[in-house]
């Protein structure tokens, strides 16, 4: 996730406003930043690695003169966080500048073609292809807007873009596909930005750009059209009545809810992970004798799901281990033949780092899935995959959990292909379905919000809550329990439903809520009979499932029906209602879900 902003202001230099807006976007990424303005028909660019203030101190953004400009704050995806990879990116002639948030999935193919046509690339980013592609189209196309649209139509992936060209020095061209972009106007001044808060110091007249649209900004005017057919879009500006703090949450009352609702995007970003890194990671896993999946808290639950995925898809056993237990349990048996797959959102969890350091001393290969780039874990691992969920501010992990799962599916499929463990048809069907998961999540969010609010109201005063799952959703039960417990403080239990009869069933009494997760696989029948066991002893059963048949209905006091997906993908889909349940329960109990007591976002102590 990155932040972009563009401004046209004929009454003065834009650099001061760009700088102010950029600072408000810094939460979206902060490993490098840059600004480009057009002055006297020439582009002037300042960029470097580091935080915005550090770069400002070094170069002083305000020395840039000009009435039109764009700026960027980066959270690296393709290419290390250094000066050459910082945005804006320019074409060969230095006459086009591009800032971008998102991932261009086909950039390698485009780059190869453009290099064959003689374009010289400076960076390792996916973004730079946009500048060169636009340059290429402008060679034969007199109309700049047409060249811009042709450029957009060649791009696959997600993007929010703002582009300057000296050919039309009073225009900003921008576009959006699966990455946010809003437009603003204030008299003759016009704006585009990744979010509303960064525009609120200047204007409250805002209009969102929707997916599949582009806009041409000129002084005092904004024209919106569809990318696919160039048809014009008429959309009225809204006059917003909200402060920056409220707007930072995109109008949501808490970061947690905002982050839950970001999942269609964040999962898509995670699925866009670069193939070459996946291949490398899969090579290491494939070569090792044993694979340990090491993590803490929510990331451990992702690891448990990962162990099912690797076994089901690639026939590879991966042993999930809670990081703080790893050294005492396996320290003595780790060897040079083993790989550790560490999963950590922050990349700074001390328990995880300790386990990894100890395994490294014993010669094991360290692999990682992380969200925070340049974190300690990225530095000590041999290969890491960046899940690209963007900063998560709520203490409870939500979008980063489903992002981790998305990356684990990608690793699973890469391993399966390498080891020839899935038939081509099955592979194609699964991969196709995985790519549709972001859409499913979008539908699900709309569908289940109301139900989960209602359910929260029913359980909010419960003495305790029990979560049951089997197979791939055992971990979803653990995760549902952790979410509810950490932000609502209601004691909660979760265990594989088969364990019920070995003890926990004694806790069942009249009215105790049991949340059951049922997927359509070999565990379905057993899970249903476990739900019968608790229901016949007085528990109230709330069942989350994509199955809707008589067996399920018979065992559910309340059935929360979610969209149909193959059983293997249900951990993503079933986690989302549980996140909403925890959120609404916390709010109904008068608590702040973003800041649960005694907890920190990143736990850097042992």
Stretch that binds ligand M6R, among 199-207, 343-351, 505-513, 565-573 (CB under 6 A): 343-351
Stretch that binds ligand M6R, among 241-249, 292-300, 331-339, 584-592 (CB under 6 A): 292-300
Among 282, 352, 459, 512, binds ligand M6R (CB under 6 A): 352
What is the smallest separation between the CB atom of 479 and ligand M6R, expressed in angstroms? 8
What is the smallest separation between the CB atom of 464 and ligand M6R, expressed in angstroms? 19
What is the smallest separation between the CB atom of 278 and ligand M6R, expressed in angstroms? 20
What is the smallest separation between the CB atom of 482 and ligand M6R, expressed in angstroms? 6
Q: Please answer whether residues 485 and 589 qualify as being in contact, where contact means their C-beta atoms are separated by less than 8 angstroms.
A: no
Among 147, 164, 314, 397, binds ligand M6R (CB under 6 A): 397
Compute φ and ψ for 15, nearest 5 degrees: -60, -35
Please say which residue, 198 or 299, places its beta carbon nearer to ligand M6R.
Answer: 299
Please say which residue, 162 or 484, places its beta carbon nearer to ligand M6R.
Answer: 484
For residue 200, count other CB atoms closer than 10 A to its CB: 22
Please say which residue, 194 or 299, places its beta carbon nearer to ligand M6R.
Answer: 299
Among 396, 407, 494, 573, binds ligand M6R (CB under 6 A): 396
Please say which residue, 189 or 258, places its beta carbon nearer to ligand M6R.
Answer: 258
Which positions from 29 to 68 touch ligand M6R by CB under 6 A, shown as an x/- string? ----------------------------------------
Please say which residue, 71 or 273, places its beta carbon nearer to ligand M6R.
Answer: 273
Strand order of the sheet with strand 3-8?
42-49, 32-39, 68-74, 3-8, 189-193, 182-186, 205-208, 238-239
Please say which residue, 338 or 486, places its beta carbon nearer to ligand M6R.
Answer: 486
What is the smallest separation between the CB atom of 217 and ligand M6R, expressed in angstroms? 39
Stretch that binds ligand M6R, among 108-116, 233-241, 271-279, 297-305 (CB under 6 A): 297-305
**CA nearest neighbour of 459 among 488, 497, 479:** 488
Q: Dump the DSSP string for 462-520.
A: -S-EEEEE-GGGHHHHHHHHHHHHHHH---EEEEEGGGGGGTGGGG--TT-EEEEEE-S
Q: Cα(first)–Cα(last) distance of the chain, in Å?
A: 30
* d(C-alpha 556, C-alpha 374), whole Å: 47
Among 247, 256, 395, 494, binds ligand M6R (CB under 6 A): 395
266 touches ligand M6R (CB under 6 A): no
Q: How far is CA 567 from CA 122, 334, 521, in A?
A: 45, 33, 6
* H or E element that contains 239: strand 238-239
What is the smallest separation between the CB atom of 250 and ligand M6R, expressed in angstroms? 20
Give the residue ranges of DSSP H helices in 60-143.
Answer: 107-116, 128-140
User: Residues 458 to 497: which contact ligand M6R by CB under 6 A?
Assistant: 482, 486
Q: For residue 181, what are the contacts with CB-CB under 8 A and spacing of at least 6?
A: 4, 160, 161, 174, 175, 192, 193, 194, 208, 209
Region label for 408, one of left (φ > 0), alpha (ψ between -120 and 50) or beta (otherwise): alpha
Among 165, 298, 387, 585, binds ligand M6R (CB under 6 A): 298
318 touches ligand M6R (CB under 6 A): no
* d(C-alpha 164, C-alpha 38), whole Å: 8
Tell me the two tokens of residue 46: 């300042």
What is the smallest separation between the CB atom of 588 and ligand M6R, expressed in angstroms? 19
Would you give the DSSP letter of residue 365? E
Q: Please answer whether residues 3 and 28 qualify as being in contact, where contact means their C-beta atoms are separated by less than 8 angstroms.
A: yes
What is the smallest separation between the CB atom of 585 and ligand M6R, expressed in angstroms? 14
Max CA pair span of the chain: 80
> What SS3 class is residue 213?
strand
Strand partners of residue 90:
97
> What SS3 class is residue 344?
strand
For residue 209, count other CB atoms closer than 10 A to its CB: 22
Stretch that binds ligand M6R, among 4-12, 21-29, 205-213, 390-398 (CB under 6 A): 390-398
566 touches ligand M6R (CB under 6 A): no
Q: How many residues of this chain bind ligand M6R (CB under 6 A)?
A: 16
Please say which residue, 313 or 323, places its beta carbon nearer to ligand M6R.
Answer: 323
Please say which residue, 280 or 393, places its beta carbon nearer to ligand M6R.
Answer: 393
Stretch that binds ligand M6R, among 172-180, 338-346, 357-365, 470-478 (CB under 6 A): 338-346
Tell me the two tokens of residue 37: 């303005």
Stretch that binds ligand M6R, among 107-115, 137-145, 222-230, 293-301 (CB under 6 A): 293-301
> What SS3 class is residue 89?
strand
**CA nearest neighbour of 573 among 583, 585, 584, 564:** 564
Catalytic residues: 2, 601
Among 85, 299, 365, 402, binds ligand M6R (CB under 6 A): 299
Would you give the DSSP letter of residue 211? T
Among 193, 346, 389, 556, binds ligand M6R (CB under 6 A): 346
What is the smallest separation between the CB atom of 512 and ligand M6R, expressed in angstroms? 24
344 touches ligand M6R (CB under 6 A): yes
Q: How far is CA 25 from CA 61, 183, 285, 473, 490, in A?
A: 16, 15, 38, 37, 36
Among 77, 263, 349, 387, binds ligand M6R (CB under 6 A): 349
345 touches ligand M6R (CB under 6 A): yes
For residue 88, is the peptide bond before it cis, meaning its omega torsion is within 30 degrees of 0? Answer: yes
Please say which residue, 200 or 395, places its beta carbon nearer to ligand M6R.
Answer: 395
What is the smallest separation between the CB atom of 351 and ligand M6R, expressed in angstroms? 8
* Binding footprint of ligand M6R on the chain (CB under 6 A): 296-299, 344-346, 349, 352, 395-397, 482, 486, 602-603
């Amino acid at each position: 996730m990155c932040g972009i902003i563009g401004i046209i202001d004929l009454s003065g230099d834009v650099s001061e406003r760009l700088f102010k807006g950029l600072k408000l976007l810094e939460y979206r990424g902060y490993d490098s930043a840059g600004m480009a303005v057009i002055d006297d028909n020439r582009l002037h660019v300042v960029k470097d690695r580091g935080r915005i203030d550090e770069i400002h101190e070094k170069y002083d953004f305000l020395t840039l003169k000009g009435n039109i400009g764009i700026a960027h704050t980066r959270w690296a995806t393709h290419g290390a966080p250094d000066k050459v990879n910082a945005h804006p990116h320019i074409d060969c002639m230095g006459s086009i500048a591009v800032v971008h948030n998102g991932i261009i999935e086909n950039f390698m193919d485009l780059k190869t073609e453009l290099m064959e046509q003689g374009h010289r690339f400076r960076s390792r980013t996916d973004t730079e292809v946009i500048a060169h592609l636009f340059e290429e189209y402008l060679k034969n196309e007199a109309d700049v807007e047409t060249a811009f649209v042709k450029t957009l139509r060649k791009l696959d992936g997600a993007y929010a873009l703002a582009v300057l060209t000296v050919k039309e020095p009073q225009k900003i061209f921008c576009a959006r596909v699966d990455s946010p972009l809003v437009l603003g106007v204030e008299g003759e001044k016009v704006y585009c930005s990744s979010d509303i808060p960064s525009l609120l110091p200047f204007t409250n007249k805002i209009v969102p750009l929707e997916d599949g649209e582009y806009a041409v900004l000129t002084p005092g005017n904004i024209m919106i059209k569809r990318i696919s057919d160039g048809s014009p879009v008429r959309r009225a500006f809204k006059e917003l009545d909200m402060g920056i703090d409220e707007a930072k949450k995109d109008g949501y009352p808490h970061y947690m809810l905002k982050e839950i609702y970001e999942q269609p995007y964040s999962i898509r970003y995670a699925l866009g992970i670069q193939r070459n890194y996946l291949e490398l990671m899969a090579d290491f896993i494939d070569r090792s004798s044993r694979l340990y999946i090491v993590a803490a808290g929510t990331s451990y639950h992702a690891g448990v799901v990962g162990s099912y995925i690797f076994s089901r898809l690639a026939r590879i056993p991966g042993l999930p281990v809670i990081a703080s237990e790893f050294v005492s349990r396996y320290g003595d048996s780790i060897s040079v033949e083993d790989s550790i797959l560490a999963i950590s959102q922050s990349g700074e969890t001390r328990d995880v780092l300790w386990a990894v350091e100890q395994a490294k001393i014993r010669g094991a290969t360290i692999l990682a899935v992380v969200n925070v780039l340049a974190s300690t874990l990225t530095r000590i691992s041999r290969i890491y995959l960046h899940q690209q969920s963007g900063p998560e501010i709520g203490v409870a992990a939500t979008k980063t959990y489903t992002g981790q799962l998305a990356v684990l599916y990608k690793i699973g499929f890469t391993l399966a292909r390498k080891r020839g463990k899935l038939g081509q048809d099955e592979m194609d069907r699964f991969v196709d379905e995985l790519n549709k998961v972001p859409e499913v999540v979008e539908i699900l969010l709309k569908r289940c919000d109301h139900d989960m609010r209602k359910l929260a109201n029913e359980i909010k005063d419960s003495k305790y809550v029990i979560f049951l799952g089997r197979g791939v959703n055992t971990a979803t039960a653990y995760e549902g329990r952790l979410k509810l417990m950490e932000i609502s403080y209601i004691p909660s239990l979760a265990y594989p439903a088969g364990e019920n009869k070995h003890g926990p069933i004694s806790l069942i009494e009249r009215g105790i809520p049991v949340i059951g997760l049922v997927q359509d696989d070999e565990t379905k029948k057993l899970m249903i009979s476990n739900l019968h066991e608790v229901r016949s002893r007085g528990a109230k059963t709330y069942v989350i499932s994509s199955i809707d048949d008589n067996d399920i209905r018979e065992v559910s006091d309340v059935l929360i029906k979610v969209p149909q997906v193959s059983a293997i993908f249900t951990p993503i889909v079933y986690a989302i209602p549980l996140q909403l349940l925890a959120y609404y329960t916390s709010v109904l109990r008068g608590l702040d879900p973003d800041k649960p007591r005694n907890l920190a976002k990143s736990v850097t102590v042992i």
